[in-house]
Every structure is written in structure tokens, then in C-alpha cells.
Amino acid sequence: MVATTIANKDWASLIREMTLEEKCSLLAGADFWRTTAIERLGIPSLKMSDGPNGARGENFFGGKTSACFPASVSLAATWDPGLVQAIGHALADDTKTKGARLLLGPTVCPHRQPLGGRNFESFSEDPFLAGSLATKYIKGLQSNGIGAVIKHYAANEQETLRNTIDVRVSERALRELYLRPFEMAITEAKPLGVMTAYNSVNGDHADMNEFLLKKVLREEWGFIGLVMSDWGGTNSLVESLNAGLDLEMPGPPTHRTLKAVQEALESGRLAMETLDSRVATNLECLARTGCFGKTLSSSEEQAVDLPEHRALIRKAGSNGIVLLKNRGNVLPLEPANYRSIALLGLAKEYLGHGGGSAAVNSHHKVTPFDALHEALGDSCELKYAEGTRIWRSLPVLSSGVTTREGQPGFDVEITFGNSTPNKSIVSPVSALRFTELRNIAAVVMAGVYKPAESGAHYLSFTIFGEATISIDSEVVLQTENSRDLMGTLLGAADAVQVQHNFIAGKEYHIQISAKAGDASDSGISVLGNSYLGFSLGLAHQQEYEADLLSSAVDAARTSDIAIVFTGHTPEWETEGVDRDTFALPKNGSQDKLVKAVAAANPNTVVVNCTGSPISMPWVSDVAAILQAWFPGQEAGHSIADVLLGKVNPGGKLPTTFPRELDNCAAAANFPGNVQNRVVHYEEGVFVGYRHHDRFPDGVLFPFGFGLSYTTFSIDDASVEISTQVLTSAESTITVRVSVHNSGQVSGSEVVQIYVQYLDHNPAIQRPIKELCGFGKVELDPGQLGWMEQTVASRALAYWNDGKKLWSVDAGNYALHIGTSSTFIHAVKRFSVPTAFDLPVCRV
């Protein structure tokens, strides 16, 4: 078990033995994933790994396989804290197989707007739900010996200009929404680490923001753990050290060099006491993660595929699936009633995770088609048709290409700076990524291509930098200086596209001459001032322009039921890039597919795998809709279990699905003013259902909503509340709710508790209601069960900007007991006799 304190550790004595150089070495990473060891003093290194839905290990692309757990939004849709804690415990097992002691997760920043590229990696639009589940995640992880690093602190709700954007937000909104999940998890679960965000908050970078790091995190919340930067997210030397940033990642350091520290000490801008305090915190982290005197079972990264992990992932994935519509009870499928089922769209895609830091090389990549074929065997015919293709860029060129020596692949000549010699490598594909190139000037990639088919081919190209692509010395494509660093790095950049004619069997000399782009304003200083990454893709015209829709419609028309799988691949929903449209990719083709299939077959089911809400222009056309999120490596099994009724869907939406993007509170100010690099959170505390409660016509599916294959009943008489006299922080309300499974199959219901202040306070605008408790009840047919929750007086409070405290107003309140934010079964009133304030939390 990870200890919360370490006794008998005399860090002051150990620090006195260190040279200044040794102290500096502990303030930044040694490399991309490790801290620095000091052998002379017996100080070990600590390794860490991404997170948060799988321990990827040190290789960003490829590497050893790992268990891929459901994305956090999928876990949030379970509304099951116990299950989330079990996931955390299992994640610790996998982290150990990668030789790491810290897992970089969970991500808890609330969903501010559906286009946020990283929403899937976080839990919810609601801070209470996010904080409750993050607390259990951390407890599960740390009870199994691995430290959690909660992230990204704070106000990191967008990827557009995420490294340099300045978030302007009121203290009240910051406290009530954006800091709340951090506060809950940090004070209740005590994670070993906190990772700062790239962005600025109200003018100060998060890594050197004294309000966030000193006043709130350390003084108010009593955090004693390690504060580290996001990768390349350290923006200063003195300011970050003084604010409380303990560790610059990754290494070698950009800011915390020996020379820079010496100069800061000599000038008096940095005190040795501050330096020693940061060193002591790093030593404490080594101790709390068990690094001193111990080693993990193996220094080599391992791929350990445990059957209990597979079962847990499958269960969690299915439990997070939300049944949004089920006209005529078309679900669950009864295979005996069907001779044929059409599986269309992304049925053969593995949609287990999003892109970026949350992506892992999964042990298993189970597609819906494979899972349904495994489950159904030959009991009915499965007809597959792709229906549409959603390539963001074309597949990279690999087959049919040889080097000048006749090897498969491309010759690559790399030019570095003047002090570094050139380097020659062979690349198997027509792409290079950042893991292969750092601080370079230019690259020339060349290969001989023998096409298998004659005719026109499409070529697509993405780059950070600039390039010329030539075929047989003729320039066919030339790019200007592209500045989409994160899009290129993560495979999500928009491609430049041209056509070229090829003759089958003829040799064509393809050459890419590329120059690095300027990354100095990217905020990712670890990449230096230059970076070069690119991808050349190719597809034959007949394949690219094939009529995929007709075959899908034919399959649907000649089948008893049609299931269309829609969603986002990791290239379309990823860290580093916000979505540019509320619609499914690409260019309306998935929406067109669903509408055409629904017109051909009235029994059309849509299974959507996205991490955020999407527009659903076909919602009235289809019989059933499942929102499956990104359910992890067993994605296909989890989806098939729900489709076939092996699992009764009990998931509930952790985020509101609006009808249109304009119905969202932040629609007018997301992603902000990109020229000035400022985003104003003008909507204040009215985010998600807090906004939609005021404008309900804009809601397609409300927060907390989800159907079941059975029915449940809650009546007003079955709700009991008991209160102490609500006069202090210790006051509580106990809520007991009876739930009856009135249907024919076993299932689960999530009872949600929302609090409302009924009296008008002209000094402050408050949401109509706010989530303050929830509980999941599993019941057999006909069974009556109880859900009991304790609601703390903090749930009644708002942040009082004038007093800089949490305040509870006197007056009348109500608890709304429901199964979504709009489906309320009972309302119970109570009163607070006199106003009182709550102290800021100190642990």
C-alpha cells in the first residue's frame, strides 16, 4: 500500500550532503519518463507512465502491449464508484509490468464544450460526479502500490492553443466547477502527485501560478505530494520553483539547468531554502512510491495479459454503455428471430480508445463484427458493408517500395545542427514521427515505388514544417510552412491532397524533401525550437471513390435488422486537437449512411463510439441508439453483450447531449480569441445541465439519462430525508430511496440527488439544481431495494467572492430525486434557519 507519510526520513541531513549540481538534478527528469538517480547517495530513479486508461510504458508508438481500460467518460457513464475503484486497482497491476511507480492519471477537468478534443479522457461535465469517481480511481490505484498523478491542474478544457492560451475565469466558476473535482480527489484520496496544465489561468501559467499552487493546493487543501509539469509545460525557472512546482518533466531540463540555478541563487531571486524544499518533496515521493531499497519484479517492460483484467474491462465497458432509444423494444437482439443481420459502418474498426496520451498498444483489439460473429456463430447470417470511409489522411505508403539497396522501405537522410553529424536510416513507411526526430533541420526521404494498379492515385500529405514531394524529379506537391504541431504529431492534421497517374509495375522514384518548422511558440519546449514530422499517404482512385453506400443499403434492405456502427477513430478525437464540427466525420458521410440504412430497414440500430456528444440528425429515423463511448480493448465484446442482452444496459450519460452546438453555453466563446490567445469563460457556473436547465428545448438527451431493458419505479412516498439542524460544516442530510424493478429482467438503476435553492438571492445567480449525490441499485425482477446517501452541507454552498469563503444562505431548499437531470420522481423540501459560512478545506 502506498504510504501517506514516511516516518524517520531525515531529508535535511541527506540534502546537506548534496552538491548544488546533485540538487538540481532532482528538480527535473533524467529523460522522458524517469527522474535522476544519485548513486553516490543511494538515491534511486523513479519511472512513470501514461495513463489514464492504460499503462502504455515508455514507447509512445508501438512497444509492449498493455491492457486498455475504458476511457474515463465510459467509466463515468457507469456511475459506479466501486467499479471505478476496481479499475484503478487493476491499472496498478499493469503499471508495475512497465516498471513504473507513478501513473499519469486520472484526468478530471470538466467537459466545458462538446468539441473539446480530450473530453473522453476526463469524466464528466459535472464536478461532483467527476470528483467522486476520481477519488475512487485514485484509491484503487494507490491501494495497490502505484501513485496517482491527477491532471491537468487547472482549467485545461480545450486543446486549441492549449500550450499558450490564457483562461480568464471568475474565481467563483473556478472554485465551483473547475477546481471542485481536484479538491474532492486531493482531500479525500490524497494522490501522490498533481500535474499542472499547459495553459495560463488568469494571466499566470499553471506551472507557476501561486494562487493555484500555493494558496489553494498547498495551504487550503493541505496537499503534501509532488507537483510536476506536463511534458514541456515548465515555463520558467524561479517563478515555478517559488510557486511550488517540484519537478520539471521531461528531462534533460530546459529551465532547471545548473548554470541557471546558480545565477538565480547568486542574484537573490531564488532562495536555497526554496530549492531544498523542492528537493525534499521529490525525495519524499521516491520514498512514498517504495523506490528506496526496492526494485520491481523486472526492469524490462512486460506485456502481461491477465484474464481477470480482460473480464473486468469487458464488464466495465458494457456497464458504461447508455441505451438512448429503444423503439418497439428492438433491443436486445433475439438471434432466433433473425435469419440475417447487417453490420455496417465501423463494425470492423477497433474503437477502444481516443488518441494521444490515452492511446495504448492494446493486448486485444476486439471489433464489434468479431465479437458478434464469435457470439452468434452460424445461427444467422452476418452481412458486412463498410458504407463509408472516414480516413482523415490516406494510408501511409509501405508495400511496393524499396530503397536504393533493394530493401523494403525508404532511404532517409537526416540533417541535424552544425554540431551533430548527419544520420541515415531506413523507414518502412512514408512517415516520420517525433519519437524518431528531435532538434533536426531537414530530412530527405526517397524510395522506388512499383504500383500494383494502373490509374489515378490520390496522394495526401501532412507536415509540421514545409516540404516538396517529387515523383521522377517532377514536383507534384509543395507545402508552405505548416504550424499544426500537435495535429501532425498525433495523426490528426488536415492533409493537402493531389492526384497522380501511375502505371502498374513501372518504377517511380518518390522523394520527400522536408524542412523543420519553428516550434518555439508551441509551449512544448522539450521539442526545442525546431521539429519535423510528416506523413505521405496514397490510395488508388477506384478505392478512394468507390460507392460504399449502395452496398450498405443493399445489405440493410435484405437483412432482418441493420446495425450501423458510427464514431471517431483516434485521429478524429484526440489530445492536441479540438474537433472542428459537432457532426460525425467525414463530411456528413456517416450521417448519410445512417439515414439511408434507416430508410431501407425500419429495424435500424445505431451504436455510436465517441467520447463526446455528437449531432444526431437521424435520431427520429432509427429504432434504437446505443452510446458506447471508448470501452477499451474488449470493445466488441462489451458492445455485443449489450446488443444480445447478456448485459442489461445500466449506463447513464455523464454529459448532456445537446440538439445543436449552438445550444451549449460556451458555443460563443470556444476556443476563444486565437489571435490574442485568450479564452473567456463568460458562461460562469452555467456549464452542462446547469445551463440546459434554463434552456431545456436545446437538450436532445439530458445529463444522467439512460434507458434499460427493464423498468423501475420510484414514488414520492418511498423517499425519506432526515436532517440535522443545518447550521455548520458538520451538518448533513440523509436520503433513503426505495427502487422497485417492475420489469421482467434483472437490471440496475442510478438514483440521482440534486439540490436546489428555492429562494431568490439577488446578489448571486445560482443554477436551478446541482448534483449532490447518487447511488446505483441492482435488482432482480420484482425486487425492491434501497439507495441511501449522505449529503453534506457543502452541497448547499456557493463560493462567496466577497468573503472568499463557501457560504450557505438561510432559506428554503429542495432535494430533487430522479433518474436524470430532467426526469425527477420526487421533490423533498427543507429549510436552513440561519446563514453560515464554511471554511476552505484544510487537511
pLDDT digits (tens, 9 = 90+) for 56-105: 999 887 789 999 999 999 999 999 999 999 999 999 999 999 999 999 99
- Strand arrangement, sheet containing 381-385: 322-326, 624-627, 604-609, 561-567, 340-345, 381-385
**Other CB atoms closer than 10 Å to residue 39's CB: what's the count?**
8
Q: For residues 20 and 127, state if they share a domain.
A: yes
Reading the block at residue 383, the C-alpha cell is: 452481412
Residue 666 domain flag: no
Residue 467: its H or E element: strand 455-471
Q: What is the pLDDT of residue 276?
A: 97
Q: Is 230 a catalytic residue?
A: yes
Q: What is the mean pLDDT of each run of 10 residues along the chain (843 residues)?
A: 47 96 97 95 96 91 92 98 98 96 98 97 98 98 98 97 95 98 98 97 98 97 97 95 97 94 98 97 96 68 96 98 98 94 98 92 97 94 96 90 94 78 87 65 93 92 91 92 75 86 96 83 56 88 89 98 97 94 96 98 98 98 98 98 98 98 95 95 98 98 98 88 80 94 97 96 91 98 95 95 94 96 96 92 62
For residue 445, give the nearest of 423, 474, 419 by alpha carbon. 423
Is 90 in contact with 312 (CB distance < 8 Å)?
yes
For residue 392, give the nearest of 260, 529, 542, 589 by alpha carbon. 589
- DSSP label of 395: P
Q: For residues 83 and 183, state if they share a domain.
A: yes
Which residue type, as a one-letter code, is found at position 83? L
Q: For residues 35 and 67, state if they share a domain.
A: yes
Q: What is the pLDDT of residue 630?
A: 98
Q: What is the pLDDT of residue 633?
A: 98
Q: What is the pLDDT of residue 7?
A: 39
CA 368 – CA 359 distance, rounded (Å): 19
Is 253 in contact with 526 (CB distance < 8 Å)?
no
Which residue type, as a one-letter code, is found at position 496? V
- Strand arrangement, sheet containing 226-228: 48-50, 102-104, 147-153, 193-196, 226-228
Residue 655 domain flag: no
Domain final residue pick, 288, 305, 330: 288
Domain final residue pick, 623, 649, 675: 649
Residue 744 lies in domain = 712-838
- DSSP label of 220: I
Q: For residues 430 and 571, state if they share a domain.
A: no
Q: What is the pLDDT of residue 436?
A: 47
Q: For residues 19 and 125, state if they share a domain.
A: yes
CA 189 – CA 180 distance, rounded (Å): 14
Q: Please report, in angstroms and rounded to a whole number, the separation of the first and last CA atoms in the chain.
A: 21
Q: What is the pLDDT of residue 297?
A: 46
Q: For residues 562 and 528, state if they share a domain.
A: no
- DSSP label of 670: S
Q: Which of 94, 126, 230, 809 is catalytic?
A: 230
Q: What is the pLDDT of residue 8?
A: 47
The 3-state DSSP class for residue 817 equals strand
Could you tell me the CATH number of the domain that includes residue 791? Answer: 2.60.40.10
- According to DSSP, the residues that pair with 466 across neighbouring strands are 515
DSSP string of 129-197, one letter each residue: HHHHHHHHHHHHHHTTT-EEEEEEETT----TTTTT-EEE--HHHIIIIISHHHHHHHHHH--SEEEE-
Residue 544: its H or E element: helix 541-544
- According to DSSP, the residues that pair with 569 across neighbouring strands are none
Q: What is the pLDDT of residue 830?
A: 93
Q: For residues 622 and 721, state if they share a domain.
A: no
Which residue type, as a one-letter code, is found at position 835? A
Residue 657 domain flag: no
Q: Structural domain tally of the chain?
A: 4
Residue 827 domain flag: yes
Q: What is the pLDDT of residue 9?
A: 74
Is 207 in contact with 164 (CB distance < 8 Å)?
no
In degrees and rounded to multiples of 5, residue 271 shows phi and psi of: -95, 140
Q: What is the pLDDT of residue 600?
A: 98
Residue 276 domain flag: yes
Residue 301 domain flag: no
Reading the block at residue 530, the C-alpha cell is: 525546431
- CB within 8 Å of 565: residues ≥ 6 apart: 343, 344, 345, 346, 347, 349, 351, 368, 606, 607, 608, 609
Q: What is the pLDDT of residue 4?
A: 37
Q: Which is it for the CA torsion 548, 549, 551, 552, positive or negative?
A: positive
Is 105 in contact with 565 (CB distance < 8 Å)?
no
Listed in sequence order, the DSSP H helices in 7-157 are: 11-16, 20-25, 72-76, 81-97, 127-142
Could you tell me the CATH number of the domain that includes residue 520? Answer: 2.60.120.260
Strand 811-818 versus strand 678-680 pairing type? unpaired
Q: For residues 135 and 238, state if they share a domain.
A: yes
Residue 42 domain flag: yes
Q: Would you call the peptide bond into 451 cis, given omega within 30 degrees of 0 as the criterion?
A: no
Reading the block at residue 75, the C-alpha cell is: 467509466
Helix (H), strand (E) counts: the chain: 19, 39
CA 440 – CA 516 distance, rounded (Å): 7
Q: What is the pLDDT of residue 519?
A: 66
Residue 691 domain flag: no
Residue with the three cell numbers 522506388: 448
**Other CB atoms closer than 10 Å to residue 565's CB: what's the count?**
27
Listed in sequence order, the DSSP H helices in 432-529 are: 485-489
Q: Which is it for the CA torsion 389, 392, 395, 397, positive or negative?
A: positive
Q: For residues 571 and 522, state if they share a domain.
A: no
For residue 427, give the nearest of 394, 402, 462, 456 by alpha carbon. 402
Print burial letters for 90-118: b (CB count within 10 Å at least 16), e (below 16).
bbbbbbbbbbbbbbbbbbbbbbbbbbbbb
Reading the block at residue 674, the C-alpha cell is: 486565437
Q: For residues 101 and 29, state if they share a domain.
A: yes
Q: What is the pLDDT of residue 523?
A: 52
Rounded-to-5 percentages of helix, strand, coil across the chain: 25, 30, 45
Residue 701: its H or E element: strand 699-701
Q: What is the pLDDT of residue 552?
A: 98
- CB within 8 Å of 696: residues ≥ 6 apart: 822
Could you tell me the CATH number of the domain that includes residue 367? Answer: 3.40.50.1700
Is 557 in contact with 601 (CB distance < 8 Å)?
yes
Q: For residues 759 and 774, state if they share a domain.
A: yes
Q: For residues 144 and 268, state if they share a domain.
A: yes
Domain final residue pick, 235, 268, 288: 288
Burial of 729 (0-12, 13-18, 19+ CB in 10 A): middle
Is 563 in contact with 344 (CB distance < 8 Å)?
yes
Q: What is the pLDDT of residue 420?
A: 63
Q: What is the pLDDT of residue 418?
A: 62
